[in-house]
Structure 1
Amino acid sequence: MFVRIVKMSFEPSNIETFLAYFETKKQLIRDFDGCEFLELYRDKKNTNIFFTYSYWKAESDLEAYRNSELFKTVWATTKQFFNDKPEAWSVDKLVSLK
């Protein structure tokens, strides 16, 4: 399993639109084959900055999602709301404590 982290910065006037849109797509993303976990975070100080954390069974699952019509539609809509270039990382989870 590995984790995909995406940092997105939104134009403040587009935040509510983004959140409403994410609400309509989050379960579809989470239910995509290979996705085991999905969360959305908001920065406490810079409230126009958001992060998605998603856990994937394999890198090939993420690639299948990134090549899917679902991703193409979600990303095309979401990127309209940005005010800065997004950043993304794929990382291996080494330790998890509960």
Structure 2
Amino acid sequence: MFIRIVKMSFHSEHIPEFLAMFDEKKESIKNREGCEFLELYQDKTNPEIFFTYSHWKHVDNLEAYRNSDLFKNVWKQTKAMFNDKPFAWSVDKLVSLSS
């Protein structure tokens, strides 16, 4: 398993549209083969910055999603709302603590 983190920054007028689209598509994304977890975060100091945080069983699962019509349509709509270049990281979890 690995974690995918994507940072996106939006023009403020597009935030409601992005949130509505994410709400509409989140179950379809989460139900993709290999996606075990999906969350959306908003930066506390800059409300134009969002992060998606997802867990994937294998890199091939993420690549299959990234090559799907679902991703292509979502990404096309999403990137039209950006006010800055997006950034993405694929990371391995090394330590996990919970209370």
Q: TM-score, normalised by structure 2?
A: 0.97
What SS class does the counterpart of residue 93 from structure 1 fall into? coil
- For 1:48, the equivalent position in structure 2 comes to 48
Distance 1:27 1:57 in 2: 17
Query: What does residue 26 of structure 2 align with?
Result: 26
Question: In structure 1, how many angstroms separate the alpha carbons of the residues matched to 2:57 and 2:97?
Answer: 19
Partner SS state of residue 25, structure 1: helix
Distance 2:6 2:82 in 1: 13
C-alpha separation in 2, matches of 1:67 and 1:26: 17
1:17-53 C-alpha deviation (Å, 9 max, x unpaired): 1001110000000000000000000000000000000
**CA distance in structure 1 between the aligned counterparts of 2:56 and 2:72, rounded to whole angstroms:** 18
RMSD: 0.5
Counterpart AA for 1:92: D
Matched pairs, number: 98
Q: How many Å separate the matches in 2 of 1:62 and 1:22? A: 18
Percent of aligned positions that are identical: 66
Give the corresponding residue for 2:95.
95
Gaps of 5+ in 1: none
Give the Cα separation in 2 of the matches to 1:39 and 1:95: 19
CA distance in 2 between counterparts of 1:20 and 1:67 reads 23
Unaligned runs of 5+ in 2: none
Kindly report structure 1 stretches of 4+ aligned residues shifted beyond 6 Å: none
Aligned partners of 2:34, 2:76: CA distance in 1, in Å? 22
Taking structure 1 as the reference length, the TM-score comes to 0.98
